[in-house]
């Protein structure tokens, strides 16, 4: 029997469970005990949302990566990261020069392997990154984003593996991000790859939510997988990953050679993980994320999405029930809304071309479902609003869709003058490093060792600027204080599986949220989307003052028809989404269809356009501030 090696997906353990990851001091404290466990050949140290999350709570992610990887590498454990190919370490496309710098920085910081995936499974995006990473000296692991549909066949995945291997990939990963790959089907994919490429290393990654994971691990290992991703308590199972103890016992019984586990060290690591939760991380973990959920089989949403879905659900339910109350209709329960959303995802997924439900496209499909359900519940129609970056997905600007768009979506695209792009997506996003160098020079910011600070600004502009001002740390501390007050003090030391106690005010995401591998955050900036944060010193207008500002603007208007332009959904309001855009201002003359601003909700931008031509009397909502559905954003004096 083959020798099986384990990889601890420590970053993903936290990010699939909650909002934040451990601080650098916690990571370096736990590393020696992970080494002492003696069972890990690899540990995932960074990538995905790791960088942004460090910035959000005021820590320098470059320091975290360097100090976290050092003891692991010294012990001979390979470190690996997750990257999103065209999207780098964020949710939107990255210029090629920034992608190239990413690999140079991460290699210099001590990361051995990069796991490259494309949410479209477009080999062009993956192969570009393979070339950039190999030039930087990294081991390249090309990930096949696993989902289950009529177009995602065994042959589809074997052909994809062949393309990326011929494109230079050193290894293959089956990234079963939703855990919905059927075990026997997955085994056939591995067998097909092994038949053509008997010597290439293959790694299997799965979340455990739908319940297939243990059977899938056994099947893929029998078919030739040699590396298995695992988690451990108190963050295994549920939306997380299978626990290393269970996997080791299962494979050992099946006759495979597996590493032994130092149980004293295991218990120490387990205990320290719990301590990290009691320190601050547990305040941002929904207890429901510990639960298995077979509803995920049909919807196909990845494990990491459940946290964001439940966070979104809270706000969506509040908004919908306000409308229900206003219109004398019976309120919805959270379970009723959840089922409606799962059913809507299942319905619309084929219509939007079967994008694999992985970051960011799982968010895009889920967001469409949320918007559609909201309209349907209110007696409206589907597709009332399709955010701009969802249109980018539908029209090929982020990669080629695996399936075909439905005729109704194609007709909507034609009406809006949107054409299908068939070129290499990278060509749409020109180099920008010089712009960021200029910004750093202007601000007197150092580029950092191996240009790592330059990279951080270029990859995460809005979060990095917020971090540099100190505002991020201040906001995090305020949010943590609020959550501690909600549960009456310290996080309860009642064991890993115990839920948080119910307080008079439920422990729920409030003013600040973040998505991990899809988990939404709500602060005075957007997650990986908006490029310019609110200017320093411009705190914005509190929501309670919005109605007064709107009324004042209406009273001061001239003789034309005065109208309010309201928010179609809850989220963060922004006047622009890119530094190149010029924002509107009070007094401007606008034409019907002009872009006035955006609502960033669920990690997508929703464009707000003027319904009529006229004079913009007032910008009521403050840039970067949270707004609710139906809040007034602008007051317009129309020409007609």
Express each pLDDT in 259-274 by its tens digit.
Answer: 999 999 999 999 999 9
Mean pLDDT computed over 296-314: 61
Mean pLDDT computed over 574-594: 83
Mean pLDDT computed over 567-572: 81
Per-residue pLDDT at 511 = 34
How far is CA 600 from each of CA 227, 304, 349, rounded to the nearest angstrom?
39, 20, 22
Mean pLDDT computed over 43-50: 92
| Bigger pLDDT: 584 vs 508 | 584
Residue of 156, 213, 160, 219 lying closest to 185 (CA atoms): 219
Per-residue pLDDT at 440 = 96
pLDDT of 60-102, one tens digit each? 999 999 999 999 999 999 999 999 999 999 888 999 999 999 9
| Bigger pLDDT: 265 vs 559 | 265
Tokens for 204? 């299997």
Mean pLDDT computed over 396-412: 92
Q: C-alpha 425: how far from its chain's center?
A: 20
Q: With 60 as the cut, is the pLDDT of residue 518 above it?
A: no
Helix 452-459 to helix 61-74 angle, to the nearest 10 degrees? 120
Integer Cα distance of 188 and 625 in angstroms: 50
Q: With 90 as the cut, is the pLDDT of residue 327 above it?
A: no
Judge whether 326 and 342 are in contact, CB under 8 Å. Answer: no
| Bigger pLDDT: 546 vs 89 | 89
Give me the percent of the chain exceeding a pLDDT of 90: 55
Residues facing residue 203 across a β-bridge:
173, 227
Give me the percent of the chain exceeding a pLDDT of 70: 84
567 pLDDT band, cuts 50/70/90, is: confident
Tokens for 148? 């289950």
489 pLDDT band, cuts 50/70/90, is: low
Per-residue pLDDT at 257 = 97
298 pLDDT band, cuts 50/70/90, is: low
Show me where the domains of the chain are located.
543-638
531 pLDDT band, cuts 50/70/90, is: very low
361 pLDDT band, cuts 50/70/90, is: confident
Per-residue pLDDT at 446 = 96
Q: With 70 as the cut, is the pLDDT of residue 168 above it?
A: yes
Per-residue pLDDT at 320 = 84
502 pLDDT band, cuts 50/70/90, is: very low
Tokens for 497? 């599986």
Judge whether 447 and 454 are in contact, CB under 8 Å. Answer: yes
Which residues are CB-neighbours of 74 under 8 A, at least 6 positions away? none
Tokens for 263? 């149980």
Per-residue pLDDT at 534 = 36
Q: Domain 543-638: which topology?
A: OB fold (Dihydrolipoamide Acetyltransferase, E2P) (2.40.50)
Q: With 90 as the cut, is the pLDDT of residue 217 above it?
A: yes
Per-residue pLDDT at 533 = 35
Per-residue pLDDT at 387 = 81
Q: With 70 as the cut, is the pLDDT of residue 503 above it?
A: no
Tokens for 386? 């399709």
Per-residue pLDDT at 369 = 86
Question: What is the overall mean pLDDT for the chain?
Answer: 85
Q: With 80 as the cut, is the pLDDT of residue 519 above it?
A: no
Per-residue pLDDT at 158 = 98
311 pLDDT band, cuts 50/70/90, is: low
pLDDT of 129-158, one tens digit each? 999 999 999 999 999 999 988 999 999 999
Q: With 70 as the cut, is the pLDDT of residue 399 above it?
A: yes
Per-residue pLDDT at 109 = 97
115 pLDDT band, cuts 50/70/90, is: very high
**Size of the chain, expressed as the number of residues it contains:** 640
123 pLDDT band, cuts 50/70/90, is: very high
The 10 Å Cβ neighbour count of residue 443 is 11
Q: With 90 as the cut, is the pLDDT of residue 497 above it?
A: no
Tokens for 152? 């995602």
Integer Cα distance of 19 and 42 in angstroms: 24
37 pLDDT band, cuts 50/70/90, is: very high
Integer Cα distance of 38 and 48 in angstroms: 26
Per-residue pLDDT at 188 = 98
Residue of 389, 456, 386 lying closest to 429 (CA atoms): 389
Tokens for 282? 């547990």
Per-residue pLDDT at 577 = 75
pTM of the model: 0.80
How far is CA 189 from each of CA 5, 116, 201, 479, 546, rounded to the nearest angstrom?
20, 19, 14, 45, 56
């Amino acid at each position: 029997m083959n020798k099986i090696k384990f990889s601890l997906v420590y970053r993903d353990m936290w990010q699939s469970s909650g909002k934040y990851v451990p601080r650098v001091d916690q990571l370096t404290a736990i590393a020696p005990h992970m080494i002492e466990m003696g069972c890990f050949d690899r540990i995932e140290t960074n990538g995905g949302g790791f960088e942004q999350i460090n910035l959000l709570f005021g820590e320098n992610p470059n320091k975290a990566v360097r100090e976290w990887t050092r003891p692991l590498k010294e012990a001979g454990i390979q470190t690996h990261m997750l990257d999103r190919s065209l999207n780098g370490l964020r949710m939107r496309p990255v210029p090629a020069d920034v992608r190239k710098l990413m690999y140079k920085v991460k290699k210099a910081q001590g990361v051995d392997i990069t796991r490259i995936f494309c949410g479209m499974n477009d080999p062009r995006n993956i192969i570009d990154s393979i070339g950039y990473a190999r030039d930087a000296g990294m081991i390249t692991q090309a990930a096949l984003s696993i989902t289950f549909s009529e177009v995602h066949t065994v042959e589809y995945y074997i052909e994809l593996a062949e393309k990326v291997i011929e494109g230079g990939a050193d290894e293959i990963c089956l990234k079963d991000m939703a855990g919905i790959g059927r075990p026997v089907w997955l085994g056939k994919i591995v067998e097909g790859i092994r038949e053509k490429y008997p010597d290439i290393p293959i790694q299997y990654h799965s979340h455990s939510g739908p319940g297939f994971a243990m059977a899938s691990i056994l099947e893929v290992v029998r078919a030739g997988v040699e590396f298995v991703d695992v988690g451990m308590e108190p963050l295994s199972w549920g939306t997380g990953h299978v626990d290393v103890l269970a996997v080791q016992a299962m494979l050992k019984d099946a006759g495979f050679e597996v590493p032994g586990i130092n149980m004293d060290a295991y218990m120490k690591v387990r205990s320290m993980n719990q301590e990290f939760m009691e320190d601050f991380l547990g305040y941002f973990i929904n207890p429901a994320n510990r639960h298995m959920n077979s509803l995920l089989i049909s919807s196909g949403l990845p494990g990491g999405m459940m946290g964001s879905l439940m966070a979104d659900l809270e706000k969506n339910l509040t908004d919908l029930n306000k409308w229900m109350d206003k219109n004398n209709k019976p309120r919805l329960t959270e379970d009723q809304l959840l089922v409606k959303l799962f059913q809507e995802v299942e319905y619309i997924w084929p219509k939007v071309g079967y994008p694999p439900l992985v970051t960011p496209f799982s968010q895009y499909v889920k967001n469409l479902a949320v918007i559609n359900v909201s309209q349907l519940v209110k007696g409206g129609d589907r597709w009332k609003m399709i955010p701009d970056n969802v249109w980018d997905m539908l029209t090929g600007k982020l990669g080629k869709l695996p399936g075909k768009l439905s005729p109704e979506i194609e007709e909507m695209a034609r009406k809006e003058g949107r054409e299908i792009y068939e070129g290499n997506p990278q060509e749409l996003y020109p180099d920008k490093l010089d712009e960021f160098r200029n910004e750093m020079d202007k601000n007197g910011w150092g580029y950092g060792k191996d240009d790592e600070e330059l990279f951080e600004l270029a990859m995460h502009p809005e979060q990095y600027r917020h971090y540099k001002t100190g505002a991020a740390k201040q906001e995090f501390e305020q949010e943590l204080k609020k959550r501690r007050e909600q549960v009456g003090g310290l996080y309860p030391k009642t064991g890993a599986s115990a839920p948080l106690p119910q307080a008079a005010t439920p422990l729920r995401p409030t003013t600040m949220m973040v998505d991990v591998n899809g988990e939404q955050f709500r602060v005075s900036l957007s997650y990986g989307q908006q490029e310019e944060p609110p200017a320093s010193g411009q705190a914005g207008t509190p929501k309670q003052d919005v109605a007064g500002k709107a009324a004042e603007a209406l009273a001061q208007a001239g003789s034309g028809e005065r109208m309010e332009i309201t928010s179609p959904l809850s989220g963060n309001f922004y006047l622009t989404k890119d530094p190149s855009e010029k924002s509107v201002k009070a007094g401007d003359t606008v034409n019907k269809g002009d872009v006035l601003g955006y609502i960033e909700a669920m990690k997508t931008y929703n464009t707000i356009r003027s319904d009529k031509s006229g004079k913009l009397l007032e910008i009521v909502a403050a840039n970067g501030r949270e707004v609710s559905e139906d809040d007034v954003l602008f007051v317009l004096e129309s020409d007609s």
